[in-house]
Structure 1
Amino acid sequence: MSQDMVDEGDLSLILHSLPQSEELYSSSFTSSRSRLLTVLSPGREQMPDSFREKLLDLERSYDAVLLEPCPAGKKVSGELALKRCRASSNAIVSYPSVLLGSKFCLLVPGVRYGTPDFTDAMMTGCIPVVIDDDHVLPFSEVLDWTRASIRVWQGLWEEGMSRLRDLPDKKVFEMREQVLYLYRRYFFSMATIVNTVLDIVNERVFPSAVHGYEHWNNPPYNPTLTDRMQYDL
């Protein structure tokens, strides 16, 4: 979706994540982030083999893990929607709870940012890293995503990975806090998503009702939230 489409009145919407959001959201404040990066892949059929090999190289070059849908024929017990497989070994992992161990979640081309993968990352406090030059993130008309995500130019994505290692802990902490705030306020349920859409439409129809940047993006100071989020990045 182009920015022009947004300016003409379309809203970049997003699908809600899996139903265990309350439990995972609560866990996101105290989970230990021992892994730098989890890569969310749409599957080997959705990308060139050469690009997939470069993603697998991230596991060797960085503290990363590449997840993709389990291959056809793979025996998966329980809810299939709650499972992904590690690309390097086909080992089944519990998804999206596995994201609780990562600081960043890389969403590669082919992963649509209106799908639950994006909100799964937010719900677990995993900072989204977007490889896409043109995509408009949800509600970007009012939300400042530079505070809660990292965009990497598609042609320079490999070089962009070094930025993740170089970010100071304080910056990572602030971005993670903002991710969780935006998720709770705007994406926590279908009701909050619908209410956000209605609020944006209301501002378009009634200019006198327009709220400023701070209203949409600045959380009220909440010492409980800040105290619970330790620098275990």
Structure 2
Amino acid sequence: MSDAFGPQVPRQLPLDLPVEPRLGAEDFLVGPANAQAFAMIESWPAWPDGLLRVIGPAGSGKTHLAAIWARRAGGRIVPAGAVAAGNVEELARASALVVEDADRTPLDEHAMFHLLNVVRRTGASMLITARGAPEAWGLATPDLLSRLRLSPSVAIEPPDDVLLRAVLVKLFLDRQLVVDANVIEALGRRMERSLAAARELVEVLDREALSVGRRITRTFALEVLDRVAGDGA
């Protein structure tokens, strides 16, 4: 009897152990897709404005860049949903503040606008991450939309071939997995071209390899990739 991965073998239940991402500057892989964003983070405090927006698709490295900047600037990181009328003054006490995923949760728009004004008044620095431009956030407060539109922004583009393959290697190493170069090349040629897809694929490969007790070979990796692609169709 066989399954999608060849002759059927007893499947083990893999332990769902958390994988801690390495978010230091030395762990950020720079390529043409993200070089401008990385350069802006590194250029602080010589920003043209106290506010910077970092835009990019899911899994593109916005959180990693935010962590690098927060460490560099001695800043604080909060989700956008944590910005509320009752804590604006407390948040604004930070000399550097990251507000993450501003377009992923309903915003308290009046609190956010107040926070932007306080940050500007005190001369602090603020970084906002989002998947898209403010026009796509569904904002109903014209003054907030105008303030965000006027702020400098930097975009992270889809990865090129070199960056995608380098990220695959890093994701495997983060899980203490060493795979042959032909696995990386084969996956890089056929997978969806996004870093979020790379992260999901490596997670699935790790889980499947553990459950059936197999090495991640080129054949095994492509079988899993085909199954993941089929599930998403």
- TM-score normalized by the length of structure 2: 0.29
- TM-score normalized by the length of structure 1: 0.29
Structure number with higher relative contact order (C-alpha < 8 Å, ≥ 6 residues apart): 2
